[in-house]
């Protein structure tokens, strides 16, 4: 099973995750977010001819990736 080590350093928390394959991943975080559910992003707008629709999808993905790190994608099949 993966292991998580947490070390506090001057207002930032350094977290290190050791994966089953031996690789390690470290990141800094001083923000904790509690969610009731993982965001669901409708990506059908990325197939639109209108740039504004594609930008909205990109913004939702960027926000979920930066703030949470996880999201579900729906409507990802090209019409």
pLDDT for the residue 52: 96
Domain map (residue ranges) of the chain: 1-32, 33-79
pLDDT for the residue 9: 46
**Phi, psi (rounded to 5 degrees) for 69:** 100, -5
pLDDT for the residue 57: 96
pLDDT for the residue 31: 65
**Phi, psi (rounded to 5 degrees) for 24:** -120, 150
Contact 35, 68 (CB under 8 A): yes
**What residues contact residue 42 under an 8 Å CB cut-off, 6+ apart?**
57, 74, 75
Element holding 64 (H helix, E strand): helix 51-67
pLDDT for the residue 20: 81
Is the pTM higher than 0.75? The answer reads no
- List of the chain residues with pLDDT < 70: 1-13, 29-33, 78-79
């Amino acid at each position: 099973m993966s292991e998580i080590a947490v070390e506090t350093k001057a207002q930032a928390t350094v977290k290190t995750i050791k994966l089953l394959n031996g690789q390690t991943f470290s990141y800094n975080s001083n923000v904790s977010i509690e969610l009731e559910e993982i965001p669901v992003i409708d990506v059908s707008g990325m197939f639109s001819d209108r740039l504004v629709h594609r930008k909205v999808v990109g913004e939702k993905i960027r926000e979920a990736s930066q703030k949470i790190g996880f999201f579900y994608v729906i409507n990802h099949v090209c019409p």
